[in-house]
Amino acid sequence: MFHESFCESKRVKGDGAAAPFGSSRKARRVPVCYRFLFETKRFRVKAEVLAKRASKATENSSKTGKPTELANQPERRYASFDEEEAPVVARNTRRADENWVGAREPAATPVDMRGVFGPGGLLERSMIGGYEHRVAQLEMAEVVHDAFQSRHHAIVEAGTGTGKTLAYLLPAICSGRRVVISTATKSLQEQLYEKDIPFLQKHFAPNLKVAVMKGRANFLCRAKLHQMADSPMLKGMEELDAFRQMREWAKLTETGDRAELTFLPDDSELWARLDARRDTCTGQKCSDFNECFVTAMHGRAREADLIIVNHHLFFADLALKHDDFGSILPEYSAVVFDEAHEIEDVASDYFGRQISNYRFEELARDADQTLRISKLGSPALLRRTQRIRERSRTFFDAFPPRDGRFPFSRQEREAFIEQHHEAYTGLTDALKSMETEFAALMQKPEELTRLGRRSFELRQELSFLFESNERNFVYWFERRNKGVFLAATPIDVSQILRERLFEQFDTVVLTSATLTVGNRFDYIRQRLGLDNAKERTLPPEFHYGEQALFYLPQGMPDVREAGFASKAADEILRLLELSEGRAFCLFTSYAQMKDLYERVSARCCWNGSRPRRTQFCSRRRVSGREWTCQANSFRV
């Protein structure tokens, strides 16, 4: 019988509570061991898994804060391992697990990544028939593993298709630390959770606990659902039908994540009235708090070994450390940024200030809804919210009508306020009077107090955007479809990230296929404030000259012309035929992606199950092969 072990250390403080990590905040660590068994089907005997469980001694020591000898020897509880598909390992195979056992004390017995990623290693034995020895992948895993063990930052560039995901996930698991994995989009989060994590749980760490965290607007608010069921304010049969489906779904779903509602359009107004945004949440005062999907997500994250987030959530947490639930993310020990070339832009958004006409409209909408539900919607109060709506429209209409993003220098802002003084003060006065009216209400629900606070915050943002002149910010406005956005973005986030991220955590790993400029990391390191990090650039696994074709279609109309979509559909269909359905189509907008998805789908014969559609991704099978459409936020 062969076995492998993964180990982890649970963080404990003297009082048994989770301890904060970071250079200035030290925590003791109590090791907990994961072990699992590999065996041949031929010689299969009753196999057992060592479940992760801290011993009584461990629990006690965590309560008293005193380490004991026994704390290093957690009680082992065995459970049967009935996985029929367990990897087949010859009985006389060298025991690579000897390395893993040492992971309980990483410094004493270093784990050998070659035993995992190298020829004949664990990966080869798990990916039966599919494994390729990828030199760059092994090297990356060694760099990342070293960063976790020696506690330093690392930055690794490795080409697309190297297998970077496993090259950071396996060292992260092996470190025994709670690691946050941050990636660029929700669909990449789902890919990690649905593909790579189950593979690791099946073959390497069956007791590994993983949580996915997304922004609150992705989750259903039970309180709002109940309120709406009591006094429905639905527009038309379509909303009524969608609402009925949501109510049924709410009884069954474990996560409350809107990604499960495949029928719901991305810009669903109904969802916007039912989501769990922080703005409208009363936190622990809510009677649904214990059953709340957001509470459950936080609970899963607190138990997890790995927490998968997207960069937006990560930097929202870093920027706003506290909300009613405490921090958004629980305490963690290390971070891996996949697609790390995106983090500067995202961090800039979260450390900057931004308002839009949508925020004022949402405030008025939420106020109306709360007033009506709480039966406080007197005509006078409803006039206040209506006034915010009207004044906001007047103010934002004062911006030039053309779409695009434009600088908004100090002189331009001053001139704007001078010219549109009435619109500006009209809006701030409308907010102020609503706050005053709400404050004067004697018996009011918590939601109204929070709405007053939101209104006050909006006034502060307005005043910052028009009246401040901080040197480190660039001011701009943008008109996009029906939205007008005003923003102040930090020119340089390096000092913020240095202080709040790289000096707080001893292990931050950054990886992507595109991080260097002129083969050097200097630029990104300087932009991010990453002063000390081990760095590595790894060669691509592909021979692009031999394995890739570059094709530039001739005679395409301009993307803004009406004929573009139909010509693009023709091209995609031709390419799908040539590649026998293997294709990945990347778009710059969701509207374009959906349009082309419909056009192409209608004309190709496909088999297999119904295509899966998420907010970001559309897939379809052609001749048994899958083609995928993805919209992303950058232009190629």
Ligand X SMILES: Nc1ncnc2c1ncn2[C@@H]1O[C@H](COP(=O)(O)OP(=O)(O)OP(=O)(O)O)[C@@H](O)[C@H]1O
Site stretch for ligand X (CB under 6 A), options 19-27, 68-76, 153-161, 283-291: 153-161
Site string for Mg ion, 108-147 (x = CB under 5 A): ----------------------------------------
- Please, which residue, 7 or 166, has the CB nearer to ligand X? 166
CB of 130 to ligand X, least distance (A): 5
Site string for Mg ion, 142-181 (x = CB under 5 A): ----------------------x-----------------
Nearest-CA neighbor of 96 among 109, 83, 108, 113?
A: 113
Is the distance from CB of 225 to CB of 274 less than 8 angstroms? Answer: yes
CB of 159 to Mg ion, least distance (A): 10
Nearest-CA neighbor of 576 among 546, 596, 560?
A: 596
Sheet with 28-38, strands from edge to edge, namely 2-12, 28-38, 48-51, 77-80
- Please, which residue, 320 or 517, has the CB nearer to ligand X? 517
Nearest-CA neighbor of 315 among 183, 124, 159, 192?
A: 183
Tell which phi-psi region holds residue 126, choosing left (phi > 0), alpha (psi between -120 and 50) or beta. Answer: alpha
Is the distance from CB of 210 to CB of 305 less than 8 angstroms? Answer: yes
Total of residues contacting Mg ion (CB under 5 A): 1
Site string for ligand X, 122-141 (x = CB under 6 A): -x---x--xxx-x--x----
Find which of ligand SF4, Mg ion, ligand X, none residue 153 binds, CB within 5 to 8 Å per kind. Answer: none
Packing angle, helices 421-440 and 379-397, rounded to 10: 150
Partnered with residue 586 across adjacent β-strands are 630
Q: How many helices (H) does the chain have, and how many strands (E)?
A: 24, 18
CB of 478 to ligand SF4, least distance (A): 30
Partnered with residue 619 across adjacent β-strands are 628
Q: Which distant-in-sequence residues (6+ apart) come within 8 Å of 151 by Cβ? A: 506, 507
Site stretch for ligand X (CB under 6 A), options 141-149, 155-163, 248-256, 556-564: 155-163
| 3-class state of residue 11 by DSSP | strand
Considering the rule CB under 6 A, would residue 161 count as an interface residue with ligand X?
yes
Complete DSSP assignment for 182-203: EES-HHHHHHIIIIIHHHHHHH
Token digits of residue 103: 């992971």
- Please, which residue, 180 or 281, has the CB nearer to ligand SF4? 281
Find which of Mg ion, ligand X, ligand SF4, none residue 123 binds, CB within 5 to 8 Å per kind. Answer: ligand X
Partnered with residue 629 across adjacent β-strands are 585, 618
CA atoms of 53 and 32, how far apart (whole Å): 7
- Identify residue 582 by its one-letter amino acid code: R
- Please, which residue, 165 or 357, has the CB nearer to ligand X? 165
| 3-class state of residue 356 by DSSP | strand
CA atoms of 49 and 267, how far apart (whole Å): 46
Considering the rule CB under 6 A, would residue 160 count as an interface residue with ligand X?
yes
Considering the rule CB under 6 A, would residue 595 count as an interface residue with ligand SF4?
no
> Cα–chain-centroid distance for residue 582?
27
CB of 159 to ligand X, least distance (A): 7
* Position among 55, 61, 162, 280 found at the interface with ligand X (CB under 6 A): 162
Find which of Mg ion, ligand X, ligand SF4, none residue 292 binds, CB within 5 to 8 Å per kind. Answer: ligand SF4
Residues numbered 260 to 279 that lie near ligand SF4 (CB under 6 A) are: 276
- Please, which residue, 190 or 275, has the CB nearer to ligand X? 190
Residues numbered 163 to 202 that lie near ligand X (CB under 6 A) are: 163-166
CA atoms of 466 and 486, how far apart (whole Å): 10
Considering the rule CB under 6 A, would residue 246 count as an interface residue with ligand SF4?
no
Site stretch for ligand SF4 (CB under 6 A), options 78-86, 220-228, 312-320, 599-607: 220-228
Site string for ligand SF4, 115-134 (x = CB under 6 A): --------------------
CB of 461 to ligand SF4, least distance (A): 23
Find which of Mg ion, ligand X, ligand SF4, none residue 294 binds, CB within 5 to 8 Å per kind. Answer: ligand SF4
Q: What is the DSSP letter of 286?
A: S
List residues binding ligand SF4 (CB under 6 A): 221-223, 276, 281-283, 286, 288-289, 292, 294
List residues binding ligand X (CB under 6 A): 123, 127, 130-132, 134, 137, 158, 160-166, 513
